[in-house]
């Protein structure tokens, strides 16, 4: 029902400030909310909405309109001045002829990892979100042992997906600065790896990671991406997970970006339950 009613909501959103429009939306939503929570027909609209865990339609209209304005670059009070993560412009993407294929190798156990560890440098990445915040980390290994670690801290409103993508982006940047010829990057987030693989994805961190990989290849170096299974005792992955969950951070990342739909939805959700 919502997608139909919210169609072109950014155009007619000012109308929901009128009491008559709010009543009409409430009439439509009340019966549906009663069916969701299996309540009696005499249950009021607001009680049914609370039991069903849904927002009033007038707030949803305002939310969709605010999201549209934010994506268009307009000032939105619900963001409270926070920087919003914006997708890269299509105009800034490379020509399809310049896009090199980025492969991802799946490794499910220690034997697979050992078979694909013949690199001068191996970089294990991970992202984590726990009660006190969001973090990402890198564990850099040579052929013998761990030689470097790097921790990154993100604001608590960021997602694990952002943390995983940031770790991979920083790993590719790290590979550009190390004097070695071959690099293996390992992550347990297939979603983040596939985002980097997909050239049609305009996520800024993925775009930057792809650009770093291209520069590494131009320098005559080799870099390979690998997916490894999480929490199965793989040494490098467990070390990166430990670092990501660690408290103190040596490096304060500049990527304090909040997913736009999440922050606007939370603002209107708070209004609906005030």
Q: Could you give the number of structural domains in the chain? A: 2
DSSP letter (8 states) at residue 82 = -
Q: Write out the residue range of the structural domain in which residue 168 sits.
A: 90-257
Strand partners, 185: 123, 225
Greatest mean pLDDT among 87-101, 128-142, 259-273 lies in: 128-142
Q: Are residues 68 and 122 in the same domain?
A: no
Task: Grade residue 265 by pLDDT with cuts at 50, 70 and 90.
Answer: low
Assess contact for 171 and 222: CB atoms under 8 A: no
Q: Are residues 66 and 201 in the same domain?
A: no
Across the beta sheet with 251-252, the strand order is: 104-107, 222-228, 182-187, 121-130, 133-141, 146-154, 251-252
Task: Give CA–CA dist 252/254, Å, rounded.
Answer: 7
Instruction: Give, to the nearest 10 degrees, the angle between helix 57-71 and helix 260-272.
Output: 150
Pick the closest to residue 162 from 104, 206, 122 (CA basis).
206
Q: Are residues 142 and 74 in the same domain?
A: no
Mean pLDDT over all residues of the chain? 85
Task: Give CA–CA dist 35/170, Å, rounded.
Answer: 49
Q: Are residues 43 and 130 in the same domain?
A: no
- 181: which residues sit within 8 A by CB, 6+ positions away? 120, 220, 221, 222
Task: Give the largest CA-CA distance in the chain.
Answer: 73
DSSP letter (8 states) at residue 7 = T
Q: Are residues 141 and 208 in the same domain?
A: yes
User: What CATH number is attached to the domain comprising 182?
Assistant: 3.30.420.10
Q: Are residues 239 and 131 in the same domain?
A: yes
Neighbours of 166 (CB within 10 A): 25
DSSP letter (8 states) at residue 250 = S
211 pLDDT exceeds 90? yes
Q: Are residues 115 and 245 in the same domain?
A: yes
Q: What would the pLDDT profile of 151-210 be if each residue is shown by its tens digit?
A: 998 888 788 999 999 999 999 999 999 999 999 999 999 999 999 999 999 999 999 999
80 pLDDT exceeds 80? no
Instruction: Give, to the nearest 10 degrees, the angle between helix 45-52 and helix 19-37.
Output: 50
Q: Are residues 58 and 139 in the same domain?
A: no
Quickly list DSSP for 198-254. -TT---HHHHHHHHHHHHHHHTT-EEEEEEE-TTS--HHHHHHHHHHH-SS-SEE-S
Q: Are residues 20 and 112 in the same domain?
A: no
Task: Grade residue 269 by pLDDT with cuts at 50, 70 and 90.
Answer: low
Pick the closest to residue 175 from 228, 224, 126, 242 (CA basis).
224
Pick the closest to residue 161 from 121, 110, 206 (CA basis).
206
Q: Are residues 20 and 103 in the same domain?
A: no
Q: Are residues 128 and 237 in the same domain?
A: yes
Q: Are residues 159 and 245 in the same domain?
A: yes
Written as six digits, the tokens of 149 are 């670690």
């Amino acid at each position: 029902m919502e997608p139909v009613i919210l169609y072109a909501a950014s155009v007619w959103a000012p109308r929901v400030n009128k009491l008559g429009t709010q009543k009409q939306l409430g009439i439509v939503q009340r019966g549906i909310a009663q069916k969701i929570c299996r309540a009696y027909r005499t249950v009021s609209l607001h009680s049914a909405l609370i039991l069903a865990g849904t927002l009033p339609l007038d707030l949803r209209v305002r939310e969709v309109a605010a999201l549209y304005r934010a994506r268009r670059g307009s000032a939105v009070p619900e963001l409270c001045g926070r920087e919003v993560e914006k997708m890269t412009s299509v105009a800034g993407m490379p020509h399809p002829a310049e896009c090199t294929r980025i492969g991802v190798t799946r490794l499910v156990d220690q034997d697979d990892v050992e078979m694909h560890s013949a690199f001068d440098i191996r970089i294990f990445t991970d992202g984590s979100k726990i009660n006190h915040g969001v973090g990402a980390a890198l564990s850099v290994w040579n052929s013998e042992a761990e030689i470097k670690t790097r921790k990154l801290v993100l604001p608590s409103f960021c997602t694990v997906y952002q943390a995983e993508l940031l770790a991979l982006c920083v790993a590719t940047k790290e590979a550009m600065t190390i004097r070695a010829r071959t690099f293996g990057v390992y992550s347990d987030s297939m979603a983040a790896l596939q985002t980097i693989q997909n050239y049609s994805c305009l996520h800024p961190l993925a775009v930057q990671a792809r650009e770093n990989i291209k520069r590494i290849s131009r320098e005559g170096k080799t870099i390979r991406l690998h997916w490894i299974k999480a929490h199965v005792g793989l040494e490098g992955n467990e070390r990166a997970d430990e670092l990501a969950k660690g408290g103190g951070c040596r490096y304060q990342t500049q990527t304090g970006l909040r997913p736009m739909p999440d922050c606007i939805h939370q603002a209107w959700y708070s209004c609906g339950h005030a």
